[in-house]
A and B are shown apart, each in its own frame.
Chain A
């Protein structure tokens, strides 16, 4: 056993290092990923050890970054590209949606696009605009892409390994405000599949489903609810596309209640998809309508208002109370 305590940032760094070490076809590309090690230092030291040909500082052009990664993938490479912040993926959105997502199908499965697009996402760090968004639904809606987000160091490490090994394009959302949270990583144990949800807390009265940055908030909410005698189960979805509906269904059929929590706006968000499917699958097991907690239908607000916008402990507990009141 090789268990080590490390931050999510460090776990990602170690995982990328392992990927570069294991497979000479793996490349890292992005703005400032070289000497600087990325603005969050996720690629710290990698260019020093693997060289400028494998850890590539790119011109400041997101469409260029993803578009050339597609070309490299067609040539047998496995690019991992870094988009500096969530709000800057949109110049590359065209390449991701119209090209990366669809090429495998258009070639009747004859070509593979093993590209990982890493995006630090979400709010809570007091940043200026375009640095705090949660655009995951915009990607999950597109067929051909897989969308995942770890919530802890162990998943950061292993999900990155699995993403790099996947032959499908993966949009890898990194919860930036959790980068510095530490957790144990067992670098030898074999993890479960990439797209399986994990029950991170058992409970019997209600199920909270979350992913990425909101898992921690939901765990805190469950602990607070426990003090009031409520037993809340927490599911870490880990993958927003595909979604492990079986795991949610199993949990909901045990607890009878479901609240989905994410930072992204509720309107047309992943919570809507989960609510609809679970209502179809488990209608007679539900004691209350599926509730959603998330952002509002407003542009992500300036930093001094983000605490109002982001779902915190109180808003999650409020939804738990509302659900239990049915």
Chain B
């Protein structure tokens, strides 16, 4: 050790040094599970081999294209004032379609608020997703129809619900699995840590699917963690794996394997899908305040849809008719979404008092009656004014 460095070490530790925010973790980029490179090359992985038919590959492509089209339509509808807000999934299609298509019908999904692609895979009519963003309801679908739970806005809450549901599945002796979606930001919440604890302790058949899209509104992932997120699992006693979140094949293979593990009674897995939120956090956000322009460009080169298209074309797995047919289908979907949203009526005022309680509540009944009489008084005065 040199004299200077010893002296430096003895110097009073400067406040700025000690309290300043942690910088990027210095660990080298961990290995991503990848089966399809950004250039559209098929590669193999020793643990996650997958063999899909041409039909299945085209199906994944179709899912991603239609999901992106739906998402773009919703963004446009927000700009036109038809929706109050929209949380776009642009760039996250592979993570969602890959994981979503790994699920069995009897599996149960706990989404956050951006899982439009997973909803698509579950067969939820996409227009149902728009009610809460338009402001006509707080949900809009029956979660039990497609085993796709309501969107959750409070960050991280749903991971505990997923764990509890999975504990129930295990108690019932069923072999279905549960999947919980959340973001890299959510990984900081106590609820998420508690769900890791519970699922490990009770060996719950749950897959934690973290879409690390690099940002939590304006905060980069480094503001949530010093270690790659998938490595967190180790501390709780279950496996974690990082997958190329822009590679739909890898997302499918890794999620499938984690679900199978859960079904075999081997407990939870954390999957970190390493991906990117190409747009704003939501339509209210302004990423120019915090994000470098060239960052998005770098990720566009890894676009999940383009790379599968390259592969399909190169391997002659899809012809021109397929792609043009899909374009027509996209337009039809966009048009339907537009029409349904514009026709969505505002809720009846008295519906305010519905569904607060399953067994009813006398106070609510009283308030409903007062409200109803108050509303009627306007009708009366309108009559008188005639």
Chain B: interface residue total (CB-CB under 8 A)? 51
B219 CB contacts on chain A under 8 angstroms: 31-32, 57, 59-60
Among listed B184-192, B305-313, B323-331, interface-contacting one: B184-192
A304 CB contacts on chain B under 8 angstroms: 134-136, 346-347
Cross-chain pair count, CB within 8 angstroms: 127
A62 CB contacts on chain B under 8 angstroms: 189
B15 CB contacts on chain A under 8 angstroms: 53
Given contacts A36-B218, A304-B134, contact A128 B84 (CB under 8 A): yes
Q: How far is the CB of A24 from chain B (nearest CB, A)?
A: 10
Q: How far is the CB of B348 from chain A (nearest CB, A)?
A: 9
Q: Most chain-A CB neighbours within 10 Å: which of B131, B156, B352?
A: B352
How far, in whole Å, are A303 and B138 apart by their CA atoms in the complex? 9
Return the CB mask of A40-59 against B: 1 if under 8 Å, else 0: 00000000000111001111
B171 in contact (CB, < 8 A): no
Given contacts A34-B218, A36-B290, A129-B138, contact A297 B154 (CB under 8 A): no
How far, in whole Å, are A59 and B218 apart by their CA atoms in the complex? 11
Return the CB mask of A295-325 against B: 1 if under 8 Å, else 0: 0111101111100110000110010000000
B155 touching A56, Cβ below 8 Å: no
> Out of B153, B156, B188, B364, which one reaches A297, CB within 8 Å?
B364
Q: How far is the CB of B287 from chain A (nearest CB, A)?
A: 9
A279 CB contacts on chain B under 8 angstroms: none
B352 touching A309, Cβ below 8 Å: yes
Given contacts A126-B84, A129-B132, contact A32 B217 (CB under 8 A): yes
B127 in contact (CB, < 8 A): no
How far, in whole Å, are A100 and B364 apart by their CA atoms in the complex? 34
A180 in contact (CB, < 8 A): no
A35 CB contacts on chain B under 8 angstroms: 218, 289-290
B189 CB contacts on chain A under 8 angstroms: 60-62, 91
Return the CB mask of B134-149 against A: 1 if under 8 Å, else 0: 1111100000000000
How far, in whole Å, are A62 and B133 apart by their CA atoms in the complex? 24
A203 in contact (CB, < 8 A): no
A302 touching B137, Cβ below 8 Å: yes
How far, in whole Å, are A129 and B136 apart by their CA atoms in the complex? 11
How far, in whole Å, are A320 and B364 apart by their CA atoms in the complex? 23
Return the CB mask of A57-76 against B: 1 if under 8 Å, else 0: 11111111000000000000
B135 touching A64, Cβ below 8 Å: no
Q: Which residue of B lies closest to A84 (CB)?
A: B217
How far, in whole Å, are A308 and B353 apart by their CA atoms in the complex? 11
A57 CB contacts on chain B under 8 angstroms: 21, 218-219, 223
B28 in contact (CB, < 8 A): no
A52 CB contacts on chain B under 8 angstroms: 20-21
B290 CB contacts on chain A under 8 angstroms: 35-36
B363 in contact (CB, < 8 A): yes
Q: How far is the CB of B187 from chain A (nearest CB, A)?
A: 8
How far, in whole Å, are A315 and B375 apart by their CA atoms in the complex? 10
B135 touching A126, Cβ below 8 Å: yes
Within 8 A of A (CB), among B158-204: 185-186, 188-191
How far, in whole Å, are A59 and B225 apart by their CA atoms in the complex? 8
Return the CB mask of A8-37 against B: 1 if under 8 Å, else 0: 000000000000000000000001101111
Given contacts A296-B367, A303-B135, contact A129 B188 (CB under 8 A): no
A36 touching B347, Cβ below 8 Å: no
Chain A: interface residue total (CB-CB under 8 A)? 43
A37 CB contacts on chain B under 8 angstroms: 289
B216 in contact (CB, < 8 A): yes
B224 CB contacts on chain A under 8 angstroms: 59-60
A297 touching B361, Cβ below 8 Å: yes
How far, in whole Å, are A81 and B158 apart by their CA atoms in the complex? 25
Q: How far is the CB of B319 from chain A (nearest CB, A)?
A: 43
How far, in whole Å, are A116 and B349 apart by their CA atoms in the complex? 38
How far, in whole Å, are A58 and B136 apart by their CA atoms in the complex? 33
Q: How far is the CB of A46 from chain B (nearest CB, A)?
A: 13
B188 CB contacts on chain A under 8 angstroms: 59-61, 64
B53 in contact (CB, < 8 A): no
How far, in whole Å, are A303 and B85 apart by their CA atoms in the complex? 11
Q: Most chain-A CB neighbours within 10 Å: which of B132, B135, B137, B216?
A: B135
How far, in whole Å, are A308 and B374 apart by their CA atoms in the complex? 11
A64 touching B190, Cβ below 8 Å: yes
B19 in contact (CB, < 8 A): yes
Return the CB mask of B340-358 against A: 1 if under 8 Å, else 0: 0000001101011100100
A296 touching B135, Cβ below 8 Å: no
B2 in contact (CB, < 8 A): no
How far, in whole Å, are A53 and B22 apart by their CA atoms in the complex? 11
B5 in contact (CB, < 8 A): no
Q: Which residue of B lies closest to A60 (CB)?
A: B185
B84 touching A127, Cβ below 8 Å: yes
A88 in contact (CB, < 8 A): yes
Return the CB mask of B369-386 against A: 1 if under 8 Å, else 0: 001001001100000000
A299 touching B19, Cβ below 8 Å: no
B374 touching A88, Cβ below 8 Å: no
A196 in contact (CB, < 8 A): no
5 contacts between A and B (CB under 8 A): A39-B285, A51-B16, A52-B20, A267-B363, A297-B361
Chain B positions near chain A (C-beta within 8 angstroms)? 15-16, 19-21, 84-85, 131-138, 153-156, 185-186, 188-191, 216-219, 223-224, 284-286, 289-290, 346-347, 349, 351-353, 356, 361, 363-364, 367, 371, 374, 377-378
List the 7 closest A-B pairs by CB distance, nearest first: A303-B135, A36-B218, A59-B188, A60-B185, A35-B290, A61-B188, A304-B346
With A129-B153, A296-B364 known, 10 other A-B pairs at CB within 8 A are A32-B217, A36-B289, A39-B285, A57-B218, A59-B224, A90-B154, A127-B85, A297-B363, A302-B137, A304-B347
